Structure 1
Amino acid sequence: MSEPLAFLNEFPEDLRPAVEKLIISDMTTADIFIRLSSYIASLKAANSSSNTASDGSESSSKKRKLDTPAPAATSNVTTSDALLTIKDISFTAPQRKKLTLTITPTHLVAHPAGGDAEFMIELDKVGSVACLPVPDKAARQWSFCIFPAREEGKGDAEVRESIVFTVPDSAPKQGVFSGSVVGFLAEDDLKGYKSLISAVLRDALDEDTKLVISLASEFVSAIPQAHRKGEKAYHVAAHRGSKDGYLFFLETGVVFGFKRPVVLFELDRIRRVTYTSVLQRTFNVVFTVAKGGDDEEDVEFSMLDQGDYPGVDRYIKKHDLTDASLSAARKAKTELKSELVNGEIPDKEMNRIVNEVTKGIAGNRPVATSFEKMDLDDDDEEDDDFEGNASDDDIAEEYDSDVSGHTSDEEEEVDNDENVEGGEDEEEPEQEE
């Protein structure tokens, strides 16, 4: 590259030939690109300093957010590079905001109309995409969930947050969308937001990156939808801790949404599935997922409707997921609980349980140092060993305080009868003499 055009190094490598060709064809544009490259360089420097702490480590704010888009990429993806641009898309993650969605050959970008990107993701770093029906809405809507590819050995909290946006179940109006591929799409692809975005994403994503939807062949709920009668539901209402949401059982894995963060548990990461707290109306399910190597974590979802148990169980068996509900470890816990009820737990085991349960509550103070200090005897044995300081009169007085304090006429008659009978008993010996 000639020295006068050295400023092109600030532009992405795939854009340099096009910019250089444009400058050669019209030298009046050179000044604009020179000023633009200077602006890009200054933003890069500012971005680098803001994302690096004084000790050279990355700041926590950078770790929590998606990669910050480069202005050069932003200025190009919103113009001639765009495969598809749609205005006024409702994003719910990582920000709740209405923005313009732009899909380029290399990026998916969210930005205000005519402005720089708010957030973006490289298409080659997308792990999978799910298009899911939004539950509990009177009007049908669809949520697109863009899940970043997972890095080996990282848990959910360490993975970049997914991008989630919602579209209505209708066709976009003319002027709302544009792009270089629009003229080449099939007529069916233009009938709705869902089909339009799906068609463009399938062409832009790598062949190994799947775009999946909810299918009845994978899971369909047995619970009727009150807001849209007659339609099938593809979700199960559940709680993860205190957070309520919905589980979707897909061909690629299990999604929990739609409150942030929306998480995907890929099938190849789910090592075991365990049913717990199976009650008459609800049950819990625990997914044991791999984090990398031998590390794993248990993720529990509670309060699933018992009516959806058969569907969830069919999904687990279809994908050969290990049901650990009757495993040796789970069985041991069940037997241990049974022994606790029967009062037959060994001393050593009881000490271990007590110390574990009370560790957080008592500030690491052991509540009982031995099993003998825990009185698990029956009430009858306690009565035999009871030695109180209170007299019988005190005890009687205590019981009397629980009632009104005035005896009824019937009670007085009973007392009188007892006194009469007692008098007769005392007189009987005198008659015998």
Structure 2
Amino acid sequence: MAAPASSLEEAFHDAPALRQEILEHISRTPQSVDLFNQISHYIINIKQSCAEDRDGPATKRRKIENNTGSQIEVISKSTLVAELSSQTILLRLPDISFSIPQRKKFTLVLTAAALGAFGPNDTVEFGVHLSEVDYVACVPVPEKAARQWNFAVFVKNSHGISDAATDPLLFTVTDTPSKGGVPTDSSDTRQTIISNLNRTLPIRVKEPSSEVFKSLTANSYRKNEASYHVKSHLGTKEGFLFFLDNAIIWGFKKPLFCFVFDSIESSSYSSITQRTFSLTIKTTAEFGGKEIEFSMIDQVEHPAIDDFLRRNQLKDASMAEARRAKIPSSLVKENTGAKSELQAAENEIAGIDQNDSDDEDDDDYEENSEGSDQSDASDSETSDNELAVNQRSSSRNLAEDELGSELEEVDITDDEGSQDD
């Protein structure tokens, strides 16, 4: 068995004599081929990381071109390369579909210190240090006929809400058979990944649960299964909100958001219509103090979301002063000094005469204004009756002045009144 010439050529291209000695040694001792393969890959990765370190800091971002030709950012660290290349591999899964930071199939590799993606010839493409991982979630991929699961691995500053953001890892496990036609149970693969991560990480992988949150919309793709997501929009991007036992996740397009409860200062509702509403999450100052709005959420989901927010005491700031409807400045100026209806009612109950302020010097005095002295309908009727009585009294007084005592001499008896009839 011979070592791949390409690996030896790439690793020892600047030392042809040493490469030739390695080939001769392998021909004499074929059992050493695996050892020299590992040595070759290790040297290749070290050379790659050293070249990057010469061009900038070890954590600098380098551009990698994907299949579509677009540029994406990947974090590369020389220590990460060394950890993935030299340490014992605990888990190795080929043909895993990654979405972030690069949309491509890679070999998933887990060691005691790092998790990463290997490309052709076992070159390290990207990865994370396990010591920096602070949240991992495994959730079903929404709106797929075949069962699939997304693994989202977040490290510090990769939650999408901090200013110094880096990319998380996002990869998918499916139910499709592996290459070669050998049937596989992806749920076993999913559980294998979860078990290995739980053994090596200081935290546990989080999965959705009906006891924590369940969508109130029926799963139209797999009718016998519950849904754990809520469809929403972030600007013009369509995505899904997942409500887990200690975090809220939005995905699965960049930027991927992870709101652990400690990062949430408050939540609020807005843009409420008959069919949809928006949910805004405000982060604490430590996480940038940002307000991120997820819109076009179906009203059907509101009871479940509201119950989740209340149970986890995620402060509802919907009625906060900053969110109340603002009064236009023109109306504020127009109503300055005017009595409100509530104040007028309170004054009336207290027995304060509202008419005693109708003075020309008052700010709210309006001459001949219909609104300056309004009264109830019953008061208007009483005033009309009093006016009629006064008019009749005035008429009688005028008659008495004109006729004198003659009015007193006129006395119509009942008999006379009957004869007149």
Aligned residue in 2 for 1:325: 318
- Correspondent of 2:83 among 73, 97, 103: 73
Go from structure 1 to structure 2 and tell me whether the alpha carbon gap of 1:340 and 1:58 turns closer, same or farther (over 3 Å shift): same
Give the C-alpha shift of residue 150 in structure 1. 3.8
| Aligned equivalent of 1:125, options 106, 116, 132 | 132
Q: Is the 8 A contact 1:145 1:165 kept in 2?
A: yes
Report how far residue 217 of structure 1 moved: 1.4
Conserved 8 A contact 2:234-2:294: yes
- Of residues 204, 211, 214 in structure 1, which corresponds to 2:205? 211
Matched residue SS, 1:73: helix
Corresponding letter in the other structure for 1:310: P
* Matched residue, 2:303: 310
Distance, in Å, in 2 between the alignment partners of 1:38 and 1:112 is 15
Change (3 A) 1:58 1:103: closer
2:332 to 323, 345, 355: 345
Unpaired runs of at least 5, structure 2:
1-28, 65-71, 337-421
Q: Give distance in 2, aligned partners of 1:121 and 1:344.
A: 57
Match of 2:286 in 1: 292
Counterpart for residue 145 of structure 1: 152
**By how many angstroms is 1:262 displaced?**
1.6
Q: Deviations over 1:62-119 (max 9, x none)?
A: 9953233554434335xxx111111111111111101111111111111125421111
Per-residue deviation, 1:46: 1.2
Partner of 1:418: none
**CA gap 1:134/1:157 in 2 versus in 1, 3 angstroms:** farther
Which structure exhibits the higher relative contact order, with contacts defined as CA atoms closer than 8 Å and separated by 6 or more residues? 1
Is 2:89 the counterpart of 1:95?
no
Matched, 1:47 2:52: yes
CA distance in 1, matches of 2:227, 2:40: 54
For 2:154, the aligned partner's letter is F
Could you report, residue by residue, the CA deviation over 1:313-349 in whole angstroms, capped at 9, with x for unpaired residues? Answer: 011001101000122332xx32x2xx449x7233799
- Counterpart among 109, 116, 120 of residue 123 in structure 2: 116
Report the counterpart of residue 276 of structure 1 in structure 2: 270
- In the alignment, structure 1 segments of 5+ residues that lack a partner are 1-25, 178-188, 350-433
Among 143, 159, 164, the residue aligned to 2:165: 159
Alpha-carbon spacing, 1:157–1:176, altered in 2? closer, same or farther (3 Å): farther
Offset, 1:168: 1.5
- Letter of the aligned partner of 2:315 in structure 1? T
User: TM-score with structure 1 length normalisation?
Assistant: 0.60
Shift of 1:38: 6.9
Quick one: distance in 1 between partners of 2:111 and 2:164?
27
Shift of 1:131: 0.3
Contact 2:280/2:294, CA 8 A, preserved across alignment: yes
Taking the aligned partners of 2:137 and 2:335, their CA distance within structure 1 comes to 50
Contact 2:84–2:114 under 8 Å retained in 1: no
Q: Aligned runs of 1:172-183 on 2, under 5 Å?
A: none
Compute the displacement of 1:43 (Å): 3.5
Which amino acid is the alignment partner of residue 130 of structure 1? A
Q: Conserved in 1, the CA contact under 8 Å of 2:217 and 2:300?
A: yes
CA contact (8 A) 1:216 1:234 kept: yes
Larger Rg: 1 or 2? 2
* Post-superposition CA distance 1:239-273 (Å, at most 9, x none): 11111100001112110001122220111110010
Percent of residue pairs bearing the same amino acid type:
31
Counterparts of 1:103 and 1:155, CA distance in 2: 27
Q: Could you tell me how far 1:58 is from its partner in structure 2?
A: 5.4
* Structure 1 residue 205: Cα displacement: 0.6
d(CA) in 2 for partners of 1:175, 1:66:
35
Q: Find the aligned partners of 1:160 and 1:40 in 2 and give their Cα distance.
A: 22
Q: Which AA in structure 2 matches 1:324?
A: A
Supply the distance in 2 between the matched residues of 1:282 and 1:143 (Cα, whole angstroms).
27
CA 1:346–1:69: 2 relative to 1, 3 Å: farther
Distance in 2, Cα, partners of 1:288 & 1:196: 36
Paired residue for 2:197, among 198, 201, 206? 201
Moved more, 194-203 or 67-76: 67-76
> Conserved in 1, the CA contact under 8 Å of 2:214 and 2:228?
yes
Given the superposition, is the C-alpha separation of residues 42 and 242 from structure 1 closer, same or farther in structure 2, using an over 3 Å criterion? Answer: same
Structure 2 vs 1, CA of residues 230 and 216 (structure 1 numbering), >3 Å: closer, same or farther?
same
CA RMSD of aligned residues (A): 3.7
1:86, 1:34 → 2: CA distance?
21
Q: Is the 8 A contact 1:90 1:98 kept in 2?
A: yes
Alpha carbons of 1:172 and 1:301: their partners in 2 closer, same or farther (altered >3 Å)? same
